[in-house]
Amino acid sequence: MDPNVTAAMIGAVAGVVVVGVERVFEALTKRRDRLAQINIRNLAPLRLYCEETFFRLHEIQRLVEQNGDHLDFLDAVQNTEQISTKNISWFNEDGCYLVSSTYFNACLFGAIRKVREEMPYLRLRSGDDTRLLNLMFAVNQAFLQNLGVFYAIQHTIGAEMWARAEQRFLTYREFSERLMTEKERTWFDRLFLFYLQAARGARKDNIQNALKAIMSLAEFIDSAVHGGNAIKARLHSEGVQHVSSGKEFV
């Protein structure tokens, strides 16, 4: 065979192979990016609400201890029924600390529920799916113990916080407006009671265990999304160097 023809054939085949390899590589890259986005889309809200709930619980723990086992601005109502009697301005003023604490915690329950639903689609290393489930269960358990917020209620709260049609969590305003209706508020009563009890010096074991469980869950998520330590960064930005969950940041 003519050497020129042979060379041309080899070149043509090589070109086809290169194009094929490039297309395979491009497809694999797109698939990897798509799977990474699935992880981020599902784990990022959980990471955010771990951070928000951790910081608020730690702040409550510290302030209750500093103020003789009572925190006036968290103890904003005598009972949960009073919440539905308040006008909308109360949720931005005297009731904001209580309601926003409950809001962040409710969003955490919602994010945990959402990740459980999406677990088959997450791309995790072998065994990490079981570990993630166990870490989320530990958070649920911390709020359950000592007849706190029961599992079924946590799951219901989580479902209530997710606006399925818009594929997003409720805003603080939407949450507050729901609470003004007794029928809607009732499903959140046990979580509100948890924070009212904390304001009066109770629920110390729950809070301590929740801090530990949330910290462990957040660190797992930080690794899964290849991010920095979100809680550590938040604590540093707020000027906190030590937390009673046993971790110290310097």
Give me the pLDDT at residue 35, please: 54
**Which band of pLDDT confidence, cut at 50, 70 and 90, is reported for residue 28?**
very low
- N-terminal to C-terminal alpha carbon distance within the chain: 75
The whole model's pTM is what? 0.84
Is 22 a domain residue?
A: no
**Whole-number Å distance between alpha carbons of 26 and 247:** 43
Token digits for 167? 């594929």
- Report pLDDT digits (tens) over 179-221: 999 999 999 999 999 999 999 999 999 999 999 999 999 999 9
Is 117 a domain residue?
A: yes
Is 209 a domain residue?
A: yes
Q: 223 or 31: which carries more pLDDT confidence? A: 223
- Report pLDDT digits (tens) over 81-108: 999 999 999 999 999 999 999 999 999 9
Is 5 a domain residue?
A: no
Is 202 a domain residue?
A: yes
Q: Which residues contact 99 (CB under 8 A, 6 or more apart)?
A: 83, 91, 172, 175, 176, 179
Give me the pLDDT at residue 121, please: 82
Q: How many CB atoms within 10 Å of residue 86? A: 18
Q: What average pLDDT does this structure show over 108-130? A: 91
Tell me the pLDDT of the chain averaged across its residues. Answer: 89
- Using the structure block, give the residue that is written with the tokens 């599902």: 42
- Using the structure block, give the residue that is written with the tokens 């917020």: 149
Q: What average pLDDT does this structure show over 123-143? A: 94
- Taking 70 as the threshold, does the pLDDT of residue 160 lie above it? yes
Give me the pLDDT at residue 8, please: 62
Is 6 a domain residue?
A: no
Q: What average pLDDT does this structure show over 33-56? A: 84
R_g of the chain, CA atoms, integer Å: 24
Is 245 a domain residue?
A: no
Is 72 a domain residue?
A: yes
- Taking 70 as the threshold, does the pLDDT of residue 109 lie above it? yes
Domain count within the chain: 1
Question: Whole domain around residue 182: which residue ranges?
Answer: 45-237
